[in-house]
Structure 1
Amino acid sequence: SMEIYNLRKANEAMSEKLNEIKEKQDKHIKEQDRKKKEVNKIKKSIIKEKKELKKTEQFIRRDDEERKQEIIKNTHDFVESMYKELQDEQDALDKEKVHVNFIKNSYKIT
């Protein structure tokens, strides 16, 4: 009877110990799950940030390209207008030359 009592006490003590161990394991598992969720949240936000960054880079590249094209067009237009001005001046000079030659020639005749 004393033996059975001692066995029961030992059994209860072991059960308590097992329950304590199980509780510690459960706490540990919950903590691990919480950490995993946190890590996943961070991963998702990093992925989102990367996507945003990529969009921004594309926008900047597109903007740079548009600006480049605008500068090229403006430069081209400027060169064209300068060329036209020079051409007009050249034409005016040619007309004057013809006029001067005409006057010269008319004086030669007399």
Structure 2
Amino acid sequence: MKALHKLIIAITAAMLASPAMAAKGSINGEKIYAANCASCHAAGVLGAPKAGDKAAWAARLKQGKEVVYTHGLQGFKMMPPKGGNASLKDEEVKAAIDFMANG
């Protein structure tokens, strides 16, 4: 009976977990990159660092990850804010940046 009680508590806790916590874990930076960023970053348009180019990203990451995130969110040089997709959530942009930088 104690095991059943613990199981019920565990299931209830899982059902009540914050949807935001669940959603955060499901953000796929690679998919966001493919749908929103690849058109420029795959070819290096206007100097955009290519996904997986460790040297290009290392130079940018020296400034700090928050600076790189800010550039992605607010735009930088010729890149518009959020890569031109204002509907992206900040966490999605950050996940795409993480994917590109770690490729």
Superposition TM-score, scaled by structure 1 size: 0.25
Return the index of the structure with the highest Cα Rg. Answer: 1
Superposition TM-score, scaled by structure 2 size: 0.26
Bigger share in helix: 1
